[in-house]
Amino acid sequence: MPFTADSELDLLFPAAHISDEARKQLHPDLHLRPLASTDYRRGHLSVLSVLTVVTDPGEDAWVAQFHALRAAPRTYYSIVIVDKASDRIVAVGTLFVERKFLRGLGSVGHIEDIAVDKSQQGKKLGLRIIQALTGISENSGCYKTILNCSDSNIPFYQKCGFEKKENEMAKYA
């Protein structure tokens, strides 16, 4: 399938929110853009499955979720890296912007669900996703950008400029 240009896609947020810096450093065979409403067909869930258990809800439910995220403007920033030759997604990540009452109604950027297709790991795609999401967070006025990760991923995030702070607590339903 040929590569689909951003102008032909229904995007989650305007592509201009992604800084040129992260884009320019990508290999020319790859393209970084916001999630599109047709990305179910480009292997979005298959890339996410390198991260955790993914249950396929079917395309209609996936598209409904896409529209639910878009209905909360300036809040969900999911991005993808697409391999231009195949028009398939090879890396994904999300920034969630939380608005607070403290710090003068400040906002915090939460980085979530970073995944790079197994065949493409180790080629700096994870780094480019984090750079792009951190850029969106900072340009949105977030006073910090935070994330949770396993011990084994700490060195990766340190290479992306993050430092270890506090602990994560979880209670599963």
**Binding site residues, ligand ACO, CB under 6 A:** 50-51, 111-116, 121-127, 147-149, 152-153, 155-156, 159
Please state whether 166 falls in left (phi above 0), alpha (psi between -120 and 50) or beta. left
Q: Which is nearer to ligand ACO, 9 or 149 (CB)?
A: 149
Point out the residue whose Cβ comes nearest to ligand ACO: 126
CA distance 35 to 17: 12
Shortest reach from residue 33's CB to ligand ACO, in Å: 17
Shortest reach from residue 156's CB to ligand ACO, in Å: 4
Shortest reach from residue 100's CB to ligand ACO, in Å: 20
Q: Which is nearer to ligand ACO, 65 or 153 (CB)?
A: 153
Cβ neighbours, 10 Å, residue 20: 9
Q: Which is nearer to ligand ACO, 26 or 63 (CB)?
A: 26
Q: What are phi and psi of 2, to 5 degrees?
A: -70, 155
Q: Is the CB of residue 77 less than 8 Å from the CB of residue 17? A: yes
Question: For residue 110, what are its two tokens?
Answer: 């939460």
Shortest reach from residue 124's CB to ligand ACO, in Å: 4
Shortest reach from residue 60's CB to ligand ACO, in Å: 26
List residues bridging with 109 in a β-sheet.
97, 145
Q: Looking at beta carbons, which pairs linking 3-8 to residues 24 or more positions away fall under 8 Å?
A: 3/31, 3/82, 3/84, 3/85, 3/87, 4/36, 4/38, 4/87, 6/33
Q: Which is nearer to ligand ACO, 62 or 156 (CB)?
A: 156
What does DSSP say about strands 144-146 and 107-116: parallel, antiparallel, or unpaired? parallel
Q: Which is nearer to ligand ACO, 67 or 159 (CB)?
A: 159
